Structure 1
Amino acid sequence: MTDAPKGPASYFPAIEQKYGRPVAEWKDLIRASPLTRHMELVAWLKAEHGMGHGHANALVAHTLAEGE
């Protein structure tokens, strides 16, 4: 049995492939944003970077959870 990532991290390989940036770079962008609320950050990734809702939501959830 493999130790495949679960939860938001399971989206990371697809995010890197589709949007051409490593997840660490996306997380840095999220942390650098003046926005702090989950859905504000999701909307920003969608509007400014053309990211789909599921991918944006996964990145924001994982990044904000690290800060807790």
Structure 2
Amino acid sequence: MTQFDVGLVHRLADQMEGLASNIKKHVNSPNQLNEDIKQMKSILNSFQTLTNSSENNGTYPIAKDNDVR
């Protein structure tokens, strides 16, 4: 049984935050925005896959030695 990977969630959230920041600072064309949206969809799909696999396996974050996994 796999455990819910909180570290992966944090990394994906950081990537999403970086994309959002880049959109605010650097998007100058519809094509550029479209590429960022594709990356965001990919990240969201990763979140969804992680959530679905964890729910299907009945795995949830666990805390061990002040580290949530």
Q: TM-score, normalised by structure 2?
A: 0.34
Q: For the pair shown, which has the larger CA radius of gyration, 1 or 2?
A: 2
Higher strand share: 2
Q: Comparing both chains, which one has the higher relative contact order based on Cα–Cα distances under 8 Å and sequence gaps of 6 or more?
A: 2
Q: TM-score, normalised by structure 1?
A: 0.34
